[in-house]
Amino acid sequence: MHDVTAENQRLVDLVLDYSRRRILSSDTPLDKPASPAELTRLAGRTIDERGIGSERALSIFEHVLAPACITTDHPGYLSFIPTAPTKAATAFDLVVSASALYGGSWLEGAGAVHAENEVLAWLANEFGLPDGAGGVFVQGGTLGNLSALVAAREAARVRAGLAGVDQPPRWKVVCSAEAHSSIASAARVMDIEIVAVRPGEDGTLRGDAVRAALDEHGASVFAVVATGGSTNFGIVDDLASIAALKAEYDFWLHVDGAYGLAAMLSPLARDRFAGVEDADSVIVDPHKWLFAPFDACALIYRDPEAGRRAHTQHAEYLDTLTETADWSPSDYAAHLTRRARGLPFWFSLASYGAAAYRDAITAAIELARRIADEIRRRDGFTLVREPQLGIVVFERDGWAKADYDAWSAHLLDEQRAFVVPSSHDGRPNTRFAILNPRTTFEQLTAILDGMG
């Protein structure tokens, strides 16, 4: 399996040929899921003692398994938060896998870590964080938020110890009631309490509402999580008014910008994020609006040493790594073994330049505004909220959830688009999550036309 043989040379050629065709395809179908019974029937048994051979295995993947996976970089993929990796990022992902890189320590992966750190420093500068800010690329926003909150709680414990005060019986985090579900997930893992604050009618969490929660819960609050672009609506909390509270209260400010913080690269949205420069930690997912492949979340600390204190793992066999001042990414999040997942983004950013990213993000925001105007103009449609970034949420007047379900399934069956129903305050709706630069206004209006 590990030797350079004629069989393995053919295998590599097959895989690279398929990858080349897939990366350079301009008409990859949207595809859709299949039932377990259908996949079993079509794929047959693929695992046995002797192996089925690379040619057959790849054929089953290409013709059976891959078509049963929705193509997330398709311009008609408008649900959840899409991904749209650049050609450079996708291609370099192959290089990362082929190079047998380990991205957990400086000792083993100094070159990879150096490149990732350059990207993290560039992002930190874009967000207005001070020189020296840094962190690590982790799997996704859930792990990024969890790791940031673990560091925040550790910092609060240290402060309490130095001040000689007792720790609260239960630590608490303040966030919007519309914060991402990963915050609640982190709270369960950490065994802490969430103080969910109702945002304004426009979905924005503001400083006055956070102040009331801080006054009520006192020193038990160790962190406030603000959202830099919610997943459902793309709403940016009032970061400036929340950050201003740090002058009066002692808490760690974390900004969950997994989806939306990348919008700071566009002049159309940058002003919405005023106050992020005062955050103690932020996250943003390159596999979303920074056009990298799955999976990559940039976790950035204002003071990286706070992350290192919280996350460095200690064991005799790790002493070689932990007893140095080297920057080892494993020290900055809840992980040890780590792929150098920031490298595809680094290669793409280095190849195309930051201006290309600014233009692509700006185009998505402009398209969201344009289709929102179209929805507002049409009889029988209601725009639920004005879009701030690239997410447009709307209702087809009179439709129940069953109507949205049937319409969504029909769209996918016809391979026109993937647009799933959503809801807000108990009312069904749907949404366009606009991110892919290849998505057009004409595609979106055609989808609206199909709603009758």
Q: What is the pLDDT of residues 8-45, one digit of tens each?
A: 999 999 999 999 999 999 999 999 999 999 999 999 99
Whole-number average pLDDT of the chain: 96
Residue 318 has pLDDT above 70, yes or no: no
pLDDT of residue 373: 98
Reading the block at residue 15, the tokens are 């895989």
Beta strands per DSSP E along 269-312: 281-284, 297-301
Question: By the 8 A CB rule, do 117 and 299 touch?
Answer: no
* Confidence label for 323 from pLDDT (cuts 50, 70 and 90): confident
Among the four given CATH numbers 1.10.150.20, 3.90.1150.10, 3.40.640.10, 1.10.150.120, the one describing domain 355-449: 3.90.1150.10
Question: For residues 51 and 27, what is the distance between their CA atoms, to the nearest angstrom?
Answer: 33
pLDDT of residue 320: 66
Q: Kindly report whether the global pTM for this prediction surpasses the value 0.85.
A: yes
Overall average pLDDT of the 192-211 stretch: 97
Residue 315 has pLDDT above 90, yes or no: no
Residue 63 has pLDDT above 80, yes or no: yes
Q: What angle do CA 434, 438, 443 make, to 5 degrees?
A: 70
The residue type found at 79 is S
Residues 103-112 have pLDDT tens digits of 999 999 999 9
Residue 313 has pLDDT above 90, yes or no: no
Which strands form 421-424's sheet, in the order they lie side by side?
381-383, 391-396, 427-433, 421-424
**CATH 3.90.1150.10 domain locations along the chain:** 355-449
pLDDT of residue 107: 93
pLDDT of residue 314: 75
Q: Which residue, 348, 385, 125, is CA-closest to 236?
A: 385
Overall average pLDDT of the 288-309 stretch: 97
**CATH 3.40.640.10 domain locations along the chain:** 95-352
Tell me how crowded residue 448 is: count the other CB atoms within 10 A of its CB: 17
pLDDT of residue 324: 78
Overall average pLDDT of the 326-335 stretch: 94
Q: How close are the terminal C-alpha atoms of the chain, in Å?
A: 56
Residues 390-418 have pLDDT tens digits of 999 999 999 999 999 999 999 999 999 99
Distances (CA, A) of 47 to 57, 62, 227, 234: 10, 17, 45, 44
Q: Which fold has domain 95-352?
A: Aspartate Aminotransferase; domain 2 (3.40.640)
| 297 CB-contact burial (10 Å; exposed 0-12 / middle 13-18 / buried 19+) | buried
